[in-house]
Chain A
């Protein structure tokens, strides 16, 4: 018996796992027929999920939490049984700004670039032309990572600079026309801007937080319960897709698949750069390798750590000036469903950690962690400013932030 499952997505490289699970037959092996529905805004991806046009969605992680907490729309409980990947975004700035804060031919150091940016932000504000940053959605990791970096460098986002929403396909145009001075977006949109000469990539978000949660597979909670066995099959299929995705042997064919019109409808060469952790920082330059630019498989990358959800909640409180509430923190944590992930992979030999939550940003070197199954060694997961997020003390963490 084949079960059908419809998944909504935006044309971004990190929609790769469900797409490849479908294209390489991993979903079919689990008896699942996947239908992919492409949209052009997160609002529409979310509406289709909430009104039953799709069963699951490729979603910016904070939006799953915001929806559950009723931010922006009436509250509806979403569940995340699988993290589609970590990081994979970059900060691209207009060339004249890259000249000031960047280093030619390589990614900049986030602290050094941030210090220069703080000076520039002050000058521009004084001149009555504050720096403008574009992010793809207010409830996106892009927004939180960018703000985290700015704030740690002494810039107060809503006071010293302007932040606005720019849809990914318009990012290159917005940079070129000067509507914004910088963007934080996923691939291939940084590369598109770079190829046009509209900007230069100065920073990968993985430099801000080495293991930052990015897109997730989100479902309505009741749908997850109804479709539980199908979802577990999908989790296994996407793990196989992840293994395939990171294998250099497959980079050409996967870039080709993702570039097709029904998926990203983009340039296979640029997509291949992102897949292979190589970034073209400036037009006419040579691609620069930055390991783990995207992180879709190793170190149980898809495991939905409750602490990741709670870090996102802490940033929502921070930037939307919400009152911290212990109930909301718990509710946010419950959006991530490590129990479903475990149950799907139990007995497959795929590594499963023994804990559901961890202190984020505490590792500076490879460290073996307790496992329910297999061996897991987690590597450096630091925030660039060395701060550590302990989910057991969110108020303390919030108080310590600038």
Chain B
């Protein structure tokens, strides 16, 4: 089975590729460039094309498949039109699958399930990364606010933090929100 993965994110493409290479009899082609997409697809002649939902070229690909219906290897969207659950899972994961008509569902199903799991895994990695980045940014804001209080009010470090925590508790807000308010106010007052 020839599988084309169209993804401009090289990291995600390689995670999917790695997952699918565990399946027997799968030949995998990754297309990361949007230029010449259709020519590459025609050259590869895939049985299955996987493309993420955030790729603007989906309309281009669907147009191509619609026209190619007249050819000897028409391509339909998704595994089996009656396999609603599987389609819903893939849309949920953010991947669309285009499959050569008539390919047996039992050959496609495991491949698609795996692709969906890999997509989800990538999404989790991404959100973990975003969370880590967010936490770091929060940490920095709190440190800046602390320094502002130490400089302007002559607090020691523990006291500066304690003041912020108290304000947060009194107002029912998070410490980082208080810190942001301090930093913003400081900037507005011309501080650096």
In the complex, which residue of chain B has the Cβ closest to the Cβ of A63?
Answer: B59
B91 and A137 contacting across the interface, CB-CB below 8 Å: no
Known: A40-B56, A72-B62, A165-B59. 12 other contacts (CB 8 A): A41-B53, A41-B58, A43-B62, A44-B53, A44-B54, A51-B87, A51-B91, A73-B77, A74-B81, A138-B66, A164-B63, A165-B62
Chain B contacts with A in 31-73, Cβ cutoff 8 A = 34, 53-60, 62-64, 66
- On chain A, the residues within 8 Å of B63 by CB distance are 137-138, 164-165
- Give the Cβ gap from B68 to chain A, nearest Cβ, in Å: 12
Contact with A along B110-153 (1 / 0, CB 8 A): 00000000000000000000000000000000000000000000
In the complex, which residue of chain A has the Cβ closest to the Cβ of B61?
Answer: A43
A40 and B54 contacting across the interface, CB-CB below 8 Å: yes
Contact with B along A158-187 (1 / 0, CB 8 A): 000000111101100000000000000000
What is the bound-complex CA distance between A334 and B57, given in angstroms?
A: 31
In the complex, which residue of chain A has the Cβ closest to the Cβ of B62?
Answer: A43
- Give the Cβ gap from A372 to chain B, nearest Cβ, in Å: 38
A170 and B59 contacting across the interface, CB-CB below 8 Å: no
- Give the Cβ gap from B32 to chain A, nearest Cβ, in Å: 16
A41 and B57 contacting across the interface, CB-CB below 8 Å: yes
In the complex, which residue of chain B has the Cβ closest to the Cβ of A43?
Answer: B58
A42 at the interface (CB under 8 A from B): yes
A16 at the interface (CB under 8 A from B): no
In the complex, which residue of chain A has the Cβ closest to the Cβ of B66?
Answer: A72
Spell out A's residues near B (CB within 8 Å).
39-44, 47-48, 51-53, 72-74, 136-138, 164-167, 169-170
- On chain A, the residues within 8 Å of B62 by CB distance are 43, 72, 165
B56 and A170 contacting across the interface, CB-CB below 8 Å: yes
**Which DSSP category, helix, strand, loop or mixed, fits chain A's interface?**
loop
- Give the Cβ gap from B64 to chain A, nearest Cβ, in Å: 8
**Could you list 25 examples of A-B contacts with CB < 8 Å?**
A39-B53, A39-B54, A40-B55, A40-B56, A41-B55, A41-B58, A42-B59, A43-B59, A43-B62, A44-B54, A44-B96, A47-B91, A47-B96, A51-B87, A51-B88, A52-B88, A72-B66, A72-B77, A137-B59, A164-B63, A165-B62, A165-B63, A166-B60, A167-B59, A170-B34
- On chain B, the residues within 8 Å of A167 by CB distance are 56-57, 59-60
- Give the Cβ gap from A316 to chain B, nearest Cβ, in Å: 12
What is the bound-complex CA distance between A165 and B62, given in angstroms?
A: 9
In the complex, which residue of chain B has the Cβ closest to the Cβ of A60?
Answer: B59
Spell out B's residues near A (CB within 8 Å).
34, 53-60, 62-64, 66, 77, 81, 87-88, 91-92, 96
- On chain A, the residues within 8 Å of B55 by CB distance are 40-41
Could you say which of B60, B87, B91, B92 contacts A165, with CB atoms under 8 Å apart? B60
Of the candidates B56, B59, B60, the one having the most CB atoms from chain A within 10 angstroms of its own CB is B59
- Give the Cβ gap from B52 to chain A, nearest Cβ, in Å: 9
- Give the Cβ gap from B7 to chain A, nearest Cβ, in Å: 14
- On chain A, the residues within 8 Å of B66 by CB distance are 72, 138
The 8 residue pairs across chains A and B that have the minimum distance between CB atoms: A167-B56, A43-B58, A165-B63, A41-B58, A40-B56, A51-B91, A44-B53, A74-B81
- On chain A, the residues within 8 Å of B87 by CB distance are 51
What is the bound-complex CA distance between A47 and B95, given in angstroms?
A: 11
- On chain B, the residues within 8 Å of A43 by CB distance are 58-59, 62, 96
- Give the Cβ gap from A60 to chain B, nearest Cβ, in Å: 10
What is the bound-complex CA distance between A42 and B62, given in angstroms?
A: 10
- On chain B, the residues within 8 Å of A74 by CB distance are 81
A41 and B81 contacting across the interface, CB-CB below 8 Å: no
- On chain A, the residues within 8 Å of B92 by CB distance are 51
- Give the Cβ gap from A168 to chain B, nearest Cβ, in Å: 8
- On chain B, the residues within 8 Å of A72 by CB distance are 62, 66, 77
- Give the Cβ gap from B59 to chain A, nearest Cβ, in Å: 5
What is the bound-complex CA distance between A22 and B66, given in angstroms?
A: 36
- Give the Cβ gap from A167 to chain B, nearest Cβ, in Å: 4
What is the bound-complex CA distance between A166 and B57, given in angstroms?
A: 8
- On chain A, the residues within 8 Å of B64 by CB distance are 165
What is the bound-complex CA distance between A253 and B117, given in angstroms?
A: 44
